[in-house]
Structure formats: C-alpha cells, structure tokens
Amino acid sequence: MLHRTWPVLLFAVWVLPLAAAENAAPSGPSFSDLILRGFEHEKKGNFQSAFDDYSAAIKIKEDSPTAYVRRAFCAAKLGQMERAAYDLREASLLPPVSVTDYTTMAWLLATSPVKQVRDGTRAVAYGQKALKDNESADTYDILAAAYAEMGNFQKARDLLMAGMKKYADSPRLPAMREHLELYNQKKPYRDEWLPTDEQKKLQKNVEYPKDR
C-alpha cells in the first residue's frame, strides 16, 4: 500500500526548498545539508544514520519542527519509543517558519498515527498557508487531509479533486486517489509509521499538556 512509505515520499518534495534557502556553512555540513542527507539515509532504510544527521541538524537549528518530526520517525523505526514521543511533542510545540515546516506540520497534525498529536484546526491553518505559498498537488492533498481530520469530508473531496485536475501529471496522483476513496467513506487518512502493536507503544509514550 502506498501509505506505508508515504511519509518519506512526501518529505522528498517538502524538504527541497531547504537546500535553496540556505548557504553552506563555513565548515562542516549546513542544516539543510544534514536534513537532505538524513532523508537520503531514510530512503535506503538507514534509520540510525538518518537519526544521527537529524540530531546534528537540531544542534544547529533547535527551533526546526521538521527536524524533530523526521527524527521522531527514525526513532520509532529504531524502536526508541520514548525518544520518538519526545520529538513528536517538541515538534508539535514549535511554530513553523519555513514552507517545509508548514507542510510537514500540517501533514503531521492531520494524519499522525498518534492521536494525541493530531489537531485539525492547526492542520487546516498550516495547510492553507502551505497551499498559498507553494501551490502543488502535494499541498492540495495536505489541506484536504486537514479538513478530513476535522470531519469536513466534502471540503476534503473538493480540494483533492481540484488538485488532481490541476496537477494531472503529478506522481502523487495514485495516493490522492487512495485518499479520495477514504473521504468518500467519511474516513480520515492516517499515516502508518509502524506495525499496529509498535504504534500502540509509541502512542502510549506521547503526552501533551492541554495548553500547548
């Protein structure tokens, strides 16, 4: 199923603006270099190497929700549920700054496998910003997922169909069709980071203050 690898496929598109937005550091890899390298490790299933790169990126830029989300994903894959839970909490509490942050956080808040992380209201707000700043099949899909999380399936369907029509050649189309089927059944989309039993362990570790 497409949804099992979709978090990584989405990130491939969202993280690319980072490389253009930053110059290389005088010595050593820059924040964007580390994020992009971490992503390449993720694609190959080298989650420990990706985790290490995202950790290094966080040391450079501690206010990046994107880096925390990606490290959380890798930590979950490595069986480090407490670390994954911590990183999800940190990401959720950090305000997005870049286009990549808005897209990453809108998707996470709309589709997270951990219910404590989901927040449809913020997902819609971030998704609207992402679509306005970077209109694409991806951002149509992201905003649609946010509306589905809020239970507005008609709006989710309308956005998906508009995005599919406007970006008919997008490689994201198969996933968008899959999501449309869910919304037609009045079901929100959920990412699957882990097998069900492991995902329950992750969810058990995630706690948020009510006033986040």
Q: Which of 159, 104, 165 is nearest to 130 (CA)?
A: 104
> Terminal CA-to-CA distance of the chain, rounded, Å?
34
- 127-134 long-range Cβ contacts below 8 angstroms, 24+ apart: 127/102, 129/96, 129/102, 130/99, 130/102, 130/103, 130/106, 133/99, 133/102, 134/17, 134/99, 134/103
Whether residue 176 is predicted with pLDDT greater than 60 in this model: the reply is yes
Q: How far is 39 from 212, CA to CA, in rounded Å?
A: 28
Q: How far is 1 from 6, CA to CA, in rounded Å?
A: 9
The Cβ of residue 167 has, within 10 Å, a number of other Cβ atoms equal to 19
The pLDDT tens digits for 87-97 are 998 998 899 99
Asked whether the whole model's pTM tops 0.85, one would answer no
- Structure-model confidence comparison of residues 197 and 62, the more confident one: 62
User: Band of the pLDDT at 20, cuts 50, 70, 90?
Assistant: very low
Contact between residue 105 and residue 70 where contact means Cβ atoms under 8 Å apart: no
Domains (range + CATH), the chain: 1-94 (1.25.40.10), 96-189 (1.25.40)
Per DSSP, helices labelled H in the chain are 6-14, 16-21, 31-43, 47-60, 65-77, 81-93, 99-111, 120-133, 137-149, 153-166, 173-184, 196-205
Mean pLDDT to the nearest integer, 29-55? 95
- For the ranges 81-85, 140-144, 197-201, the one whose mean pLDDT is highest: 140-144
Whether residue 2 is predicted with pLDDT greater than 80 in this model: the reply is no
Q: How far is 83 from 76, CA to CA, in rounded Å?
A: 8
User: Band of the pLDDT at 4, cuts 50, 70, 90?
Assistant: very low
What is the per-residue DSSP string for 104-131?
HHHHHHHH-SSGGG--HHHHHHHHHHHH
Q: How far is 139 from 170, CA to CA, in rounded Å?
A: 12
Whether residue 45 is predicted with pLDDT greater than 60 in this model: the reply is yes
Q: For a pLDDT cut of 90, what percent of the chain falls above it?
A: 70
Q: Which two tokens stand for residue 198?
A: 């492991």
Which residue reads 């491939």 in tokens? 12
